[in-house]
Every structure is written in structure tokens, then in C-alpha cells.
Chain A
Amino acid sequence: MEIVIIIVAGILIATATYLMLSKSILRIVIGTGLLAHGAHILLLAMGGLKRGAAPLLGQQADAYADPLPQALILTAIVISFGVTSFFLVLAYRAYQELKTDDMDKLRGNENHE
């Protein structure tokens, strides 16, 4: 099972890399979203995907799934959620102000401010 998840994570991260190398800001933001997904399911897979009940003591099971990676992912999801929303607003503001969403046109140096 881990193998499948790791391959999926690899595909997600490859797609993310491809999107982040493109010109449009929106595609880049989508890329960062996919990158976060890839990282999170990788974290889940690396914690081990053994069979076991959900980590709730009320379940009275013999074996539980590892609760630590789930807590880590929850934290990482919230953080990446916050950063993504900031990034989207920043992209929107930059689009309003700079009148372009093309990263190539956002190059330039001090002489072209």
C-alpha cells in the first residue's frame, strides 16, 4: 500500500514542479497546492499504513493507526492553507497593481520600477 501512495505522491510532486515552472502566477499557486498535497500524503505514508482502528480510545481495538503523523499533517495542512490564502491575495493584489500575471514580465531591475 505504501508503494502506491509513494508513487501517487511522486506524481503529485512532479506535476507541482511542472506547474511551478510555468509563467502564469495562478498555475504557480496551483502548483504549490499540489506540492503541499504531495508532501502531506508522503508524511502519512512514511508513518506506515498498517491496518488498525482510527486513533480513538473509544474504539477498543487491539491495534490503532499511528496518531502522530495525523497530528503533524493536520498542523501542516493549516499552515499551508494560511500561506496559500495569503499567496492568492498577494497574486490578486499584484495583478491589480502590476497589470500582469506573467512571471516573465515581473523580472527587471531597479531601473524599471
Chain B
Amino acid sequence: MNNLVILPILIPLITATILLLIPKRIMLQKVISVVALSLTTIASIVLVHTVFNNGIQTLELGSWRPPFGIVLVADMFSSLLVLTGVIVSFMCILFAFRSIGKERERYYYYAFTQFLITGVMGAFLTGDMFNLFVFFEVMLMASYALIVLGGTRLQLRESLKYVLVNVISSALFVIALAYLYGVVGTLNMADVSSRVAESGQTGLLTVIAILFLIVFGLKGGIFPLFFWLPGSYKAPPYAITALFGALLTKVGVYAIYRTFTLIFYHEPQITHQIIGILAGITILIGAIGAIAYKDVKKILIYNIVTAVGVIVYGVAIATETGYAGGIYYLVHDMVIKGALFLLAGAMFAITGTNKIQQMGGLIKRHPLLGWMFFVASIALAGIPPLSGFVGKVLLVQGGLEAEHYVFVGVMLFSSLLVLYSVMKIFMNCFFKAEVLSEKEEKGSTKGLVYPAVILLAISAFLGLGAEVIYPYVWQAAETLMDPSIYIQAVLKE
């Protein structure tokens, strides 16, 4: 029992409710958002620290013993994601202060962001399958509002598709929950896990597992269920795309990790093999998309798809090294995707376009922006001193231990393509002949760059200070490897 566990959900929720009351007072909204996010960050840091020292923290809501009540569970995996998620959304909101515009701010932009954070944090921390569904919906509804906020033609067109896809995947989620309840008769994750382990994973449960894979794959954007992602993420402004790219798909990935390490781990030759194959194809498709486009935003969006494939493959490796690599890469990717989208947003603020051909020579007047984009690019590709390297090394190591040579080849090859795709942006937009003279520039980057600076500093720390992060990641991987730790912490038998 520890009330600390609920703070990352409760603070954004209360903040959002307050923000609903003061839509026209923008300055006050900004102050409240910053204060609330600082508090949430502090709470998450304390949470990570507590979990590290005292093991898994649980909170039985209303003092109902699990499996009868809803229980919130913070193990190291979820607390790390909570901390990263809060920091990234903090930076996205700081970016939004100067970029999102009065009109959107007056129509509840900050309130919706807080609701989105509530949903994401809840999804990370819950220990109940149906509660996971509810937090998914909280997150998705906030994202529907954010994706269409502003109401441009492109946003309307794309949000129709986005909403439709998510309505279908939510209905499938309910159906999957119905089947699961019909078979095991409980919805508490730890209890489901122990009952599945008792009865052995029958064919029926494997079918349900694959249905869950389809549901979470739709949310997370793995092949062949990623088709909605490039169009939808293209539509909203950069501050919102950064938030989506860093958080939303990662919640689907987290859910895949949770279900396939905690509940459905008894038939790896079926489920984990399917996950592995799909993840491999996802990596390739994302990389192909990233090199095909000449549009900054599209390239970065396809890089999300690649990263999702890389992270999800950690489940298929199913060793402690593989999980550790996946977790490390997940944390790194949330940070670096946030940074890249914010930098691209700053470029958009200067040039007013996403097309590579219409930019050029930006380095002359924006050297800081240019070199930061360079650093973010090589971090994304996984060049040694930066954060992307450690996760990929662990994944390669895990892949070699598990003798998945094809995957290791695919991942290393995709790193090359990813590097090519972002270097294409860097070389074309920052070097080459100048396209825009000083007077033609659409705006300044004043105040837009420093959130990305902070994210890049964190990324550099994740790479250089890997020794500091390692024990945390290994503890998370250990819990994923051995579900009985989780079950005992929740059910206390």
C-alpha cells in the first residue's frame, strides 16, 4: 500500500479539471500546467527511487484486496516509463507555449494534454485488464480532441480515419476482454497470470493472446496494422505530433510487453514467433517509408514505425538481455522522438514547410538548431556515445544469444537506412544552397529550441551515464523475466 503510486495519475487529472474552468486565461493555464507537470515529475522520480529500493509498489484502491478490487502496480518497468513519459510531455508543452497559437490555447489545448497524460500514466500503472481498457480510452479520447483541434481540412479528413480505426480496435479490445473473462473468470493481471499458469495455456488462450496482439498492435502501429499512423500523425501541429509520437504508440508497445511477459508466455513457439516475424517486417517497412519520402514530418513518422518494431522484438527474444535492450530502447526512443519532432517543429517555424526541397542552408543562421538536429539524428541511428547505442547493443546481444541471426541483420541494416533518412534531412535542409533569405523566413525559433536541448541532454545522459541507468533497467527486465515476482507483490500470497 502506497499512495505515491496514484500521484502520476491524480495530479494531471485534477489539473485538467481545473484547466477546464479557465479556458480564456491563457497565462494562468500555462503556469498551472508547468506547476502540475513539475509536481508529477518529482512524484515519478520519487516513485522510481522507491521501487528501486523497496521493490514493487502496489495500491489497492478502496482497500479491496486484489483480485476483487482494482489495483495499481508500479514495478520498475512502468515507473521508468512514467518518468520518461512525464518528462517528454513536459517538454512538448514547453514547446507548445510558443508554437501552438492563441486560438488552440483558448479551446482547451492544455486541458486535453493533461487528460492525455492522465490516460498514458494510468495505462502504465494499472494492474487490471479492464482498467487498462478504460485508461486507453481516456488517452484516445484526449488524442481525438487534440488531433482535430484547430479544425483545418487536413485535420478533419485524417481524424475521421484515426477515430474510426481506434473505435474498431477498442471494440476488439472489449471482445478480447470478454473472451478472457469467459475463460479465466478474472480480470486482475496477476490473477489472470496465475490462473493461466495453473491451467496451462490452452489453444483457446493462445487465440485470445493473438487477439490481444492485434488490439495492441493497432494501437502501437506494428505491421500490418500501422496503416493509419503516417496520415494521422501528419495532420496536427508539431507540438501535438511530438506528444503522440513519443507517448501514444509506446503505450501499445508497453501493453504488448505486459501481456506477453506476464500472462501469455507459455506458448512462445506460437505467439512470440509471430511477434518476432511481425516486428522484423515492421522494422523494414518503417525504414523503407523513411527513405522513400522527401518530407521531414513523414520521414520522422516512419521512424516511429521502425522503432516500434525494434522495441517489440525484445518480447520475441524473451531473455533478460532482450527485455533489458527493449526497455532501454523504449526509454531512449520516447526521449529522442520527442526531441526530433520538436527540432523539426522549429525548422517548420522558420521555413513554413515540411518539404526538404524548399529548405536549404539553414545552418548559416541557425547553427545551434542544425547541430542539435545532427546530434539527435546520430542518437536515433545508435552511434556509440549517445543513447540509441546501448539499447541496440543489448538487443543485438540478446538476439545473438537466442540465435536470431536474421533479426540482428535486419536491425543493423535498418539502422543504416534510418541514419540515411535523417542525414538526408540534415544534409539537404541545413547545407546546400540557401533557399530562404533572412527576410523570407516565416518566424523565429525563439523559445522553441530549449525543450529539445533538455531532451537531448537526457539522451546524452542515457548514453554516457549508462552505468547509472543499468541497474534500473536490469531490475525492470528481471521482473519481466520472472512473473512470480509481480504476482507475489500484487496478490501477497
Q: Real complex partners, A and B?
A: yes
Q: Which residues of A contact B (CB under 8 A)?
A: 20, 25, 28, 32, 35-36, 38-40, 42-43, 45-48, 68-69, 72, 75-76, 79-80, 82-83, 86-87, 90-91, 93-94, 97-98, 103, 106, 108, 110, 113
Known contacts A46-B179, A75-B130, A90-B160: A83-B141 contact under CB 8 Å: yes
Contact, CB under 8 Å: B156 / A47: no
1/0 per residue B137-160: CB within 8 Å of A? 100010011001001011011011
Contact, CB under 8 Å: A39 / B178: yes
Known contacts A72-B177, A97-B153, A98-B157: A47-B182 contact under CB 8 Å: yes
Residue of B nearest to A103 (CB): B160
- Taking CB atoms, residues of chain B closer than 8 Å to A38 are 171, 175
Contact, CB under 8 Å: B164 / A28: yes
Contact, CB under 8 Å: A87 / B167: yes
The SS class assigned to the B binding surface is helix
Q: List 24 A-B contacts (CB under 8 A).
A: A20-B164, A20-B168, A38-B171, A39-B174, A39-B175, A40-B174, A42-B178, A45-B178, A46-B178, A46-B179, A46-B181, A46-B182, A68-B187, A69-B178, A75-B134, A79-B137, A83-B141, A83-B144, A86-B141, A90-B163, A91-B160, A93-B151, A94-B156, A113-B153
- Taking CB atoms, residues of chain B closer than 8 Å to A68 are 181, 187
**Nearest-Cβ distance from residue A26 to partner chain B, whole angstroms:** 12
CA distance A39 to B295 in the complex (A): 40
Contact, CB under 8 Å: A43 / B144: no
CA distance A32 to B295 in the complex (A): 34
B170 at the interface (CB under 8 A from A): yes
CA distance A90 to B181 in the complex (A): 34
Residue of A nearest to B355 (CB): A110
Residue of B nearest to A36 (CB): B171
**Nearest-Cβ distance from residue B410 to partner chain A, whole angstroms:** 29
1/0 per residue B284-314: CB within 8 Å of A? 0000000000010000000000000000000
CA distance A69 to B178 in the complex (A): 8
Q: Once A and B bind, how many residue pairs between them come within 8 Å at the CB atom?
A: 99
CA distance A81 to B163 in the complex (A): 14
**Nearest-Cβ distance from residue B285 to partner chain A, whole angstroms:** 18
**Nearest-Cβ distance from residue B131 to partner chain A, whole angstroms:** 10
- Taking CB atoms, residues of chain A closer than 8 Å to B160 are 25, 90-91, 94, 103, 106
Q: Which of B158-204 contact A (CB under 8 A)?
A: 159-161, 163-164, 167-168, 170-172, 174-175, 177-179, 181-182, 187
- Taking CB atoms, residues of chain B closer than 8 Å to A97 are 151, 153, 156
CA distance A32 to B157 in the complex (A): 18
Q: Which residues of B contact A (CB under 8 A)?
A: 130, 133-134, 137, 141, 144-145, 148, 151, 153-154, 156-157, 159-161, 163-164, 167-168, 170-172, 174-175, 177-179, 181-182, 187, 234, 295, 354
Contact, CB under 8 Å: A98 / B171: no
B151, B153, B178, B234 — which one has the most chain A CB atoms within 10 A of its CB? B178
Contact, CB under 8 Å: B181 / A47: yes
Contact, CB under 8 Å: A98 / B163: no
A38, A75, A76 — which one has the most chain B CB atoms within 10 A of its CB? A76
- Taking CB atoms, residues of chain A closer than 8 Å to B159 are 90
CA distance A42 to B181 in the complex (A): 11
CA distance A86 to B145 in the complex (A): 9
Known contacts A46-B178, A90-B163: A83-B170 contact under CB 8 Å: yes
Residue of B nearest to A83 (CB): B167
**Nearest-Cβ distance from residue B330 to partner chain A, whole angstroms:** 27
Residue of B nearest to A106 (CB): B157
**Nearest-Cβ distance from residue A19 to partner chain B, whole angstroms:** 12
Closest CB pairs A-B (n = 3)? A46-B182, A43-B178, A46-B178
Contact, CB under 8 Å: A32 / B130: no
CA distance A28 to B175 in the complex (A): 19
Q: Which of A76, A103, A108 contacts B174 (CB 8 A)?
A: A76
Residue of A nearest to B293 (CB): A110
CA distance A83 to B169 in the complex (A): 13
